Amino acid sequence: MGPRHALLEQIGADIAHFQEASALFDATVGEVLALGRAEMACLAQLHFGGPSPLSAVPRGTDVERLELAGYVRREAAGSGRRLVLTEHAREWIETIWGPLREEGFQLMAALPEADLKVLAGVLSAVRGVQDRHASRVARLLQAPGGAGAARRRGGLSAAALHRVRLFIEAHLARRIRVEELARHSGLSVFYFTRAFRQSMAMTPHAYVQQRRVERARELLSRTHHSLGEIALEVGFSSQSHFTTVFRRLTGLTPAVVRRGGG
């Protein structure tokens, strides 16, 4: 592993840690305010975007819950009604997010303008990557072999299968142990392996290999990464192993696919 790859690994680990910390922060804030995810999103929308028509609040928002907690109020707006953030909610927002915003601003303000431009460009690109893959993962809910297949006799429940598949998508770049997948399904390794095969008509290992190859095809078509880099990005231990599995599942080598041969 060269210095560049080690640096990329460190950046990836830091991003994953940041995402986990952000999720934990949001969950803790939700407990403090006694609100769910949709209600939190509604407060953020009202805080940053101003009053909002009732029809535009995030899906699943319990408006009555927000009103009872004193965070929003309804007011007349033309021929309809809109939600407005209360002063009580603004005080909570400032108490919780104010220090985080100020410290983040101070951290950014210390950087040279050139570095800020680079950072802004990277964040914009990362946002695009996140949006694209969020849409891809969401399609798993409608994919063949998903919820319908999970209801086959002896298979995983739709919820368990969904958790397992999301975990696989998020961790393709590293070794995925069947014990981890079983833990996400809530079953023992023995029962999980049998139930997964019943649901997906293949073993967990075969499914992971299939997803790695599919992810690799995406990278081959839209990036200029070397075959060795792609092999590592999708969880293969070496380029030769990557080529062997890729050819077995597709009938083509990665090099041929990159040249537009498949």
Residue 101: helix, strand or coil by DSSP? helix
What pLDDT is attached to residue 146?
A: 46
The Cβ-side half-sphere exposure at 177, using a 13 Å CA radius, reads 4
E strand spans, the chain: 52-53, 72-77, 80-85
**For the chain, what are the domain ranges?**
23-109, 140-201, 208-258
Gap between the terminal Cα atoms of the chain: 30
Is residue 176 a contact partner of residue 208, using CB atoms and an 8 Å limit?
Answer: yes
Tens digit of pLDDT for each residue in 31-42?
888 888 888 889
DSSP state of 72: E
Fold classification of 23-109 (topology level): Arc Repressor Mutant, subunit A (1.10.10)
The low-confidence residues of the chain, meaning pLDDT below 70, are 1, 138-154, 261-262
The residues pairing with 82 across neighbouring beta strands, listed in sequence order, are 53, 75
Architecture of the 208-258 domain: Orthogonal Bundle (1.10)
pLDDT above 70: percentage of residues in the chain? 92
What are the backbone angles phi and psi of residue 52, rounded to the nearest 5°? -130, 140
Is there a common fold for 23-109 and 208-258?
Answer: yes
Question: Could you tell me the pTM of the whole model?
Answer: 0.51
Kindly state the tokens that stand for 39. 């209600």
